[in-house]
Amino acid sequence: MDLKTGLNSPVIADHLPTLASPAAVMTFTSPTSFPSPGLCLNTTKKIPLPGKIDEVRAAGWLDLMMAASPTRRRQIKDVVNDTQADDLDLQYHNWMVDYPSALTSFEAIIDLAGSKRLALFLDYDGTLSPIVDNPENALMSDEMRAAVRHVASLFPTAIISGRSRDKVFDFVKLNELHYAGSHGMDIMGPIRKTADSNGVECIHSTDSKGKEVNLFQPASEFLPMISEVYKKLGESVKDINGAKMEDNKFCVSVHYRNVAEDDYKKVFQRVTAVLEDYPCLRLTHGRKVFEVRPVIDWNKGKAVEFLLESLGLNESEDVLPIYVGDDRTDEDAFRVLKASNRGFGILVSSIPKESDAFYSLRDPAEVMEFLRKLAAWKEQST
Ligand SMILES: O=P(O)(O)OC[C@H]1O[C@H](O[C@H]2O[C@H](CO)[C@@H](O)[C@H](O)[C@H]2O)[C@H](O)[C@@H](O)[C@@H]1O
């Protein structure tokens, strides 16, 4: 069933997802099928050289760079007049017909949940913390931490971030959750026999509390290459004012949020020039950030499937997974839930965006309200 078919009102319960059997959900790829870095180095696939860059393709990237992560609604209002602001409001409200607010649709969501067990998957930046200029300052508020702790005490909850797992844990500081860093390429989850017997290689380890856990790192072979490319990229953009590197362990971020627009093209050219020598790595684009990562068949969607399996929630039709995220990489997770017709995504956005999510929330403040409502509903219904 197309979840959007016929949807014309933010609050009509008839248009909620119909959930199918979860049997087909668990299809994550074993790491044994991933290309090894050595194999990739022998391929002939090349990213165009700077100077020889296909102008159309470069222009496409530049458009993306300009459009990425428009500033928050309040800031938009600072630079447009009242009529334009009204137009933006109208566009947003029209868009919400297709992506109803998870707050105004809350009753419909809990009707759908019924007696099912909820499983929550949360992105970090732009979802649990507001987007800020300096990535080091993307702190989570104490109120948000309390809301996340509360839901995590009631539902299995995981954070799936593009950041390194350690860094996202440093921000969140909650032991009650499961963490997947580097866009799902670094997962710390509970020990599950089935995960091992499915041929997925996990390392047994202990968490900061000494509890036994499984570490799943499908891109571990790429670590030397990632650290090499991190240094090269750092060298290549060091003279560009405002460009900032971030080491996310199995991926690298090149931030351009604080770069002058006139220099965007330079950032793009420098990054693609370095990547020309690394056909095993691919470039994706987030909110004013380039993300460089291994070409392996793994993403946040696969991480959701993996965690559902690890948490023992995959075999049950009685589970409703909800994924909340704001960025392009979260779309992989939205798509997995949509395709399995099992749960749904909630897109966090204050501007209209095409998405595979089913619902929307405007910003992290609304995410917090949603989490609080979920916790209150669960407590009062048990
Ligand atoms: O999957 P996520 O947890 O959303 O991580 C994606 C990227 O998030 C961070 O960058 C974004 O947030 C920064 C802080 O608000 C902001 O300065 C930056 O412009 C955004 O792109 C993180 O710093 C990146 O490494 C992640 O790839």
- Confidence bin at 199 (pLDDT 50/70/90): low
Nearest in space to 234 (alpha carbons), one of 218, 253, 209, 261: 253
Q: Which of 65, 125, 257 to mutate to test the pocket of ligand 1 (most atoms within 8 A of CB)?
A: 125
| C-beta of residue 146 within 8 angstroms of C-beta of residue 184 | no
Query: Does ligand 1 lie within 6 Å of residue 363's CB atom?
Result: no
Judge if ipTM > 0.85.
Answer: yes
| C-beta of residue 208 within 8 angstroms of C-beta of residue 188 | no
DSSP calls for 49-62: PTTS--HHHHHHHH
Out of 166-170, 182-186, 210-214, pick the least confident. Answer: 210-214
Vertex 370 angle, CA 16 and 126, to 5°: 105
- Confidence bin at 74 (pLDDT 50/70/90): very low
| pLDDT (tens digit per residue) in 223-262 | 999 999 999 999 999 999 999 999 999 999 999 999 999 9
* pLDDT mean over 97-101: 95
Query: Does ligand 1 lie within 6 Å of residue 286's CB atom?
Result: yes
Query: Does ligand 1 lie within 6 Å of residue 200's CB atom?
Result: no
* pLDDT mean over 298-306: 96
* pLDDT mean over 2-6: 33
Instruction: Give 56 Cα–ligand 1 centroid separation in angstroms.
Output: 27
pLDDT of 121 above 80: yes
pLDDT of 309 above 60: yes
Helix (H, G, I), strand (E, B) or coil at 179: strand
Q: In this structure, which residue's CA is closest to atom 14 in ligand 1?
A: 135
d(CA 378, CA 21): 24
pLDDT of 114 above 50: yes
Query: Does ligand 1 lie within 6 Å of residue 327's CB atom?
Result: yes
DSSP calls for 288-300: TEEEEEE-SS--H
Cβ neighbours of 217 (radius 10 Å): 21
| C-beta of residue 304 within 8 angstroms of C-beta of residue 337 | yes
Instruction: Give 375 Cα–ligand 1 centroid separation in angstroms.
Output: 27
d(CA 100, CA 137): 31
pLDDT of 344 above 90: yes
Q: What is the pLDDT of residue 191?
A: 77
Amino acid, single-letter form, for residue 78: D
* pLDDT mean over 172-183: 96
Out of 23-32, 148-157, 190-199, pick the least confident. Answer: 23-32
Q: Outline where DSSP puts E strands in the chain.
A: 117-122, 157-160, 178-181, 186-189, 203-206, 212-216, 244-247, 252-255, 281-286, 289-294, 319-325, 344-348, 359-361
3-state helix, strand, coil in the chain (%, to 5): 45, 15, 40
Out of 51-55, 135-139, 150-154, 256-260, pick the least confident. Answer: 51-55
> What does the DSSP 8-state code read for residue 156?
-
- Confidence bin at 59 (pLDDT 50/70/90): low
Query: Does ligand 1 lie within 6 Å of residue 331's CB atom?
Result: no
pLDDT of 202 above 90: no
Query: Does ligand 1 lie within 6 Å of residue 362's CB atom?
Result: no
- Confidence bin at 298 (pLDDT 50/70/90): very high
Residues 6 or more apart whose Cβ sits within 8 Å of residue 101: 10, 359, 360, 361, 362, 366
pLDDT of 70 above 90: no
CA distances from 181 to 47, 133, 188, 248 (A): 27, 21, 9, 8
Query: Does ligand 1 lie within 6 Å of residue 163's CB atom?
Result: yes
Residue 251 CA, closest ligand 1 atom number: 27
pLDDT of 172 above 90: yes
Per-chain mean pLDDT for the chain: 83
pTM (two decimals) = 0.84
* pLDDT mean over 159-167: 97
Percentage of the chain modeled with pLDDT above 90:
66
Query: Does ligand 1 lie within 6 Å of residue 332's CB atom?
Result: no
Q: In this structure, which residue's CA is closest to atom 4 in ligand 1?
A: 125
